[in-house]
Amino acid sequence: MACLEKGRLEAFAFCPERRDMIQYDVLTIGNAIVDIIARTDNAFLEEQGIPKGSMTLIDTTRAQSLYNAMGPAVEMSGGSAANTAAGVVSLGGTAGYIGKVCDDQLGAIFTHDIRALGIAFQTAPLSTGPATARSMILVTPDGERSMNTYLGACVELSPDDIDEELVAAAKVTYFEGYLWDPPLAKDAIRKAASIAHANGRDVAITLSDSYCVYRYRAEFLDLMRSSAVDIVFANEAEVLALYETKNFDAALTQLAADVRKFGAVTRGEKGCVVVEGKTRIDVPATEVSTVVDTTGAGDLFAAGFLRGYTGGLSKKVSAQLGVVAAGQIIAQIGPRFAGSIRDTADVSKLLGVSSHL
């Protein structure tokens, strides 16, 4: 069981001759993370000074003390962009992924889970240095998740990890704003964006988290205004943070002006809005009987949208697919589906719709 031992990960068997024929709907690039998910209460978050609903970066010392203090957990592969790739596949699409793990047990778990979904994942793991990243995700009784992320091996993601052929083969290259946290990843993203555009592909960013937007606001705006990205995914708080305003409509107008193609903004119970030039499409949320765990809601919205968009569906139907996928993921624990949701009634109905915007 070399893959789960301390030894090296096996090289990914890859057939170069077949490569020219392969096309992926979506390539996602992000921090490769294993989630450590535990239920907790609000008092524990306050005690530990954890900002509810956000992602906080933590160092090894804090990671250890928080792990010691928190309750028993369940582990599963996560990582925002990786969850989006998994979601695209759950919806019947094809996907690739770029992200950095270490060749340790958690790295083997991450690698197994993403490859077992049929996602092309060949990023070379670190053989020495920091361990595979993990995020301690604390879920309160209201279903809200608060993430505490130790980046570990992710800090080593660099332009060398960008596989040109993989980028060229994907209709959309999608990456996390979270990638601005590790030092070299932004260069990797610039490289990936250039390759994608040179091949006539689209580039998409998710703004990830409002605190992340506070940290990298100017850089994210520059990515948009310099047309390094074509599509922006965000939630309401992130767009407000991006434009330093409390006026959602004003922020949307600015977003539409700044983004080369379009923006898709989720609003929780209020559904989502797609803005493209002067066009605005509002899509209501689906009804979710019980919110169990909001982990992955934004990731799965992007997955649903991108599955529709790369499948040639209208932006409205793509947004509806996003809303449906997000609604299904928050009704369960963790950010990935155990199997395909391609054939669930809501999804198959939307995928069957061929009328475009």
Question: For residue 24, which of 103, 93, 122 has the smallest C-alpha distance?
Answer: 93
Does 11 participate in binding its own copies (rule CB under 8 A)?
no
How far apart are CB 81 and its own copies at their closest, in Å? 16
Which residue in 76, 234, 237, 324 binds its own copies (CB under 8 A)? 76
Residue 262 has which token pair? 């379009």
Print the SS3 string covering 109-163. HHHHHHHHCCCEECCCCECCCCCCEEEEEEECCCCCEEEEEECHHHHHCCHHHCC
Task: Write down the least CB distance from residue 135 to its own copies, Å.
Answer: 12
Size of the site for its own copies (CB under 8 A): 40
Least Å distance, CB 261 to its own copies, is: 32
Q: Is 105 in the site for its own copies (CB under 8 A)?
A: yes
- x/- contact string, 16-45, with its own copies (CB under 8 A)? --------------------x-xx------
Contact map string, positions 233 to 262, toward its own copies, x by CB under 8 A: ------------------------------
150's torsion region: left (phi>0), alpha (psi -120 to 50) or beta?
beta
Shortest Cβ 160–its own copies spacing (Å): 24
Q: Is 202 helix (H, G, I), strand (E, B) or coil?
A: strand
Shortest reach from residue 87's CB to its own copies, in Å: 12
CB 204 within 8 A of CB 179: no
Token pair for 272 = 């989502």
DSSP state of 343: T
3 scored as a contact of its own copies (CB under 8 A): yes
3-class secondary structure, 265 = strand
113 or 202: whose CB is closer to its own copies? 113
Give me the residue label for tokens 């019980």.
Answer: 290
* Candidate list 29, 82, 109, 265; residue touching its own copies; CB under 8 A: 109
User: Long-range contacts: 18-22, Cβ < 8 Å, 24+?
Assistant: 19/165, 19/169, 22/120, 22/169
With respect to its own copies, which residue has the nearer C-beta, 69 or 198?
69
334 touches its own copies by CB under 8 A? yes
Residues in contact with its own copies by CB under 8 A are: 1-6, 36, 38-39, 60-61, 63-64, 67-68, 70-77, 86, 104-106, 109, 112-114, 116-117, 131, 134, 150, 334, 336, 338-339
